[in-house]
Amino acid sequence: MVKELLRKLSDAHGASGSEGSIRDIIKAEVAGSVDEFLQDTMGNLIAVKRGDDFSIMLAAHMDEIGLMVQYIDEKGFMRVVPIGGWFGPVLYTQRVILHGKNGPVMGVLGAKPPHMMKEEERKKEIKIEDMFVDVGAASEDEVKNLGIEIGTPITIDREFAELAGNRVTGKALDNRVGVAMLIRTLQQMASPHTIYAVFTVQEEVGLKGAKVSAYSLNPDCAIATDVTIPGDHPGIEKKDASVEMGKGPVVSIVNASGRGLISNPAMVAWLRETAERKNIPCQVEVGTGGNTDATIIHLERGGIPSVPLSIAARYIHSPVEVVDIGDIESGVQLLVEALKTKPAL
């Protein structure tokens, strides 16, 4: 079941730059379904399925946003820097896991108690630099003995859980949802083409893994699987984000109002026509917010025709991201069907 695969991926830890454990899960899942694995110097995992001389790159970033130890004080409290786009109040009082060299260590993000805040302080948005990590240690030496040092990566401690209907919540659905979608696609597809499924690193810190892998592979076209923002809950309106959870995967016509990406029209048409032909629920968006790996892939070499295929996810970049499992299943179906054909480039 894709739900159980997603649980495994969401509960695993892989901040940008330390994606090893995610890579291991993927390899175990798709080993029997691909011809070979390649791994480049940055850590991108490329699962290759050989076919004819038309090549399609599928990209899903493995990394999640996290933190990193920047400084350890004499009492054992740690200053941290964000790795990826965090909003301070989201991190306030979260439990975290520090991935030290002796194994995982539990910690909390502490800050000044609200009782002690002055009136003006309470009104202000709390910043990451106002917080620190507390692992319960009493000294810098005690922290170091736990295997933690400057540069130790940190991720959020929050277990995947099932919600009502077919919805689930987890800490790293951005982008383990895209990873799960590619894993299932590789297991089910029967494409005549050469498929490079690239599980990319360091997307959340600047789309870096996708850039180098697109250059190396030089594919004929590319699809990036990721998450996107739905406008279906309080605090946001459909005029600002027109897609909804539970209504199928989302084909982006543009990302970041076109500054990020204007998708290749033939790639958009290919996915939309496949969805229509096979009666697969599917939505389109003109995105004003974030980017995906497609933003950098389409600018590699002489220009690689690219399109994002995303899953609507509520509350992204938080420990309580929410998605609908049905959207992922439709996304897999759409990719499997599309890959039997090719875009009219």
Interface residues with Zn ion (CB under 5 A) are 174-175, 226
Q: What angle do CA 33, 36, 39 make, to 5 degrees?
A: 120
Question: CA-to-CA distance for 65 and 97, rounded, in angstroms?
Answer: 13
Q: Catalytic residue, from 64, 203, 204, 321: name it.
A: 203
Evaluate the omega torsion of the peptide bond into residue 175 and state whether it is cis, within 30 degrees of 0.
Answer: yes
| Token digits of residue 17 | 């730059």
- Compare residues 29 and 321 and give the one whose CB is closer to Zn ion: 321
Burial class (CB within 10 angstroms; exposed 0-12, middle 13-18, buried 19+) of 123:
exposed
322/153 Cα distance (integer angstroms): 24
325-338 vs 2-11: helix crossing angle, rounded to 10: 110
Question: Catalytic site residue 125?
Answer: no
- Residue bearing tokens 């499924």: 197
| Least distance (Å) between residue 292 CB and Zn ion | 6
Query: What is the nearest approach in angstroms of Zn ion to the Cβ of residue 261?
Result: 14
Give the span between the Cα atoms of 52 and 192, in whole angstroms.
Answer: 6
Task: For Zn ion, give the closer residue by CB, 98 or 173.
Answer: 173
The residue (of 175 and 318) whose beta carbon lies closer to Zn ion is 175
Q: How far is the CB of 203 from Zn ion (least distance, A)?
A: 6
Smallest distance from Zn ion to CB 153, Å? 18
Q: Which one, 275 or 294, has the nearer CB to Zn ion?
A: 294
Tokens of 230: 């739905």
Nearer to Zn ion by Cβ, of 200 and 333: the residue is 200
CB of 288 to Zn ion, least distance (A): 16
Closer of 175 and 333 to Zn ion (Cβ): 175
Q: Nearest approach, Cβ of 259 to Zn ion (angstroms)?
A: 17
DSSP class per residue in 210-279: HHHHHHHH--SEEEEEEEE----STT--TTTS---TTS--EEEEEEGGGTSEE--HHHHHHHHHHHHHTT
Q: Do the strands 250-255 and 283-286 form a parallel or antiparallel pair, or are they unpaired?
A: parallel
Which residues are identified as catalytic? 203
